[in-house]
Amino acid sequence: MPQNLAEMVRHPEGKHVYKLEVEGTAITEFYEFESPISEDEAAQIWFQDMKENSGPALARTYRDRIKCKKLTEDDPELEEYLNDR
């Protein structure tokens, strides 16, 4: 946790970043949205993208293993994500 506001990280365009992972796999993706949404909504959007890009059968195998986390300004993963973009 940051000790002060200077240690907090903000997305340069003010977007909201969500980290999506599929448990038991190496799949990790980050999604950005203009407005905040729930983690469940972000997971559902990822699922729909997976379904369209990889087919419904593969998407169904991952459906119950999707973990989604909104990266907040005090989350070190947000800084790592922004540095790797």
Instruction: Give the pLDDT confidence of 10-19 residue by residue, as tens digits.
Output: 788 889 999 9
Q: Is residue 19 part of a domain?
A: yes
User: Token pair of 70, please?
Assistant: 């909104």
The answer to whether the CB of 81 falls within 8 A of the CB of 66 is no
The structure's pTM equals 0.85
Number of folded domains in the chain?
Answer: 1
Residue 2, domain member (yes or no): no
pLDDT tens sequence across 56-77:
999 999 999 999 999 998 899 9
Exposure of 55 by Cβ count < 10 A (0-12 exposed, 13-18 middle, 19+ buried)?
exposed
Domain that holds residue 46: 8-84
Please say if the pLDDT value at position 53 is more than 70: yes
